[in-house]
Amino acid sequence: KQEVTQIPAALSVPEGENLVLNCSFTDSAIYNLQWFRQDPGKGLTSLLLIQSSQREQTSGRLNASLDKSSGRSTLYIAASQPGDSATYLCAVSLSSGSARQLTFGSGTQLTVLP
């Protein structure tokens, strides 16, 4: 059974700092990995999607990397801003069959202090 772990569970940084969020998964036979952002009381917003054949994806100040063999992904946020404060979730979908359900980590709650 696929298990997804995110470390740290919570992180507080001063504005302007670069930071890295970590995600690890136990089954390397993934189809893709997706990073989401969730604001308090809100739904999930997709940030980046990395296919299993890719090593990284970038969107603005965000960069996500994937090392499938070691079962790890990182989300790098450059020049953090108070508006980046949210919970960040990573999720993987497995390669087997036609199943595309996601297995989520428990998230990292990020607070960027002004």
Q: Which of 19, 63, 104, 109 binds another protein (CB under 8 A)?
A: 104
Query: Minimal distance in Å, beta carbon 35 to another protein?
Result: 10
Q: Which of 23, 89, 90, 112 binds another protein (CB under 8 A)?
A: 89
- Footprint of another protein on residues 49-88 (CB under 8 A)? 49, 51
Q: What is each CA distance from 100 to 50, 78, 92, in whole angstroms?
A: 14, 31, 9
Kind of pairing between the strands at 10-14 and 108-113: parallel
Q: Which stretch binds another protein (CB under 8 A): 15-23, 65-73, 76-84, 89-97?
A: 89-97
End-to-end Cα distance, the chain: 41
3-state secondary structure of 47: strand
| 68 Rama class: left (phi>0) / alpha (psi -120 to 50) / beta | alpha
Does position 93 interact with another protein (CB under 8 A)? The reply is yes
Does position 26 interact with another protein (CB under 8 A)? The reply is no
Rounded-to-integer distance, Cα 32 and Cα 55, Å: 11
Does position 96 interact with another protein (CB under 8 A)? The reply is no
The footprint of another protein (CB under 8 A) covers: 31-32, 34, 36, 41-46, 49, 51, 89, 91, 93, 98-107
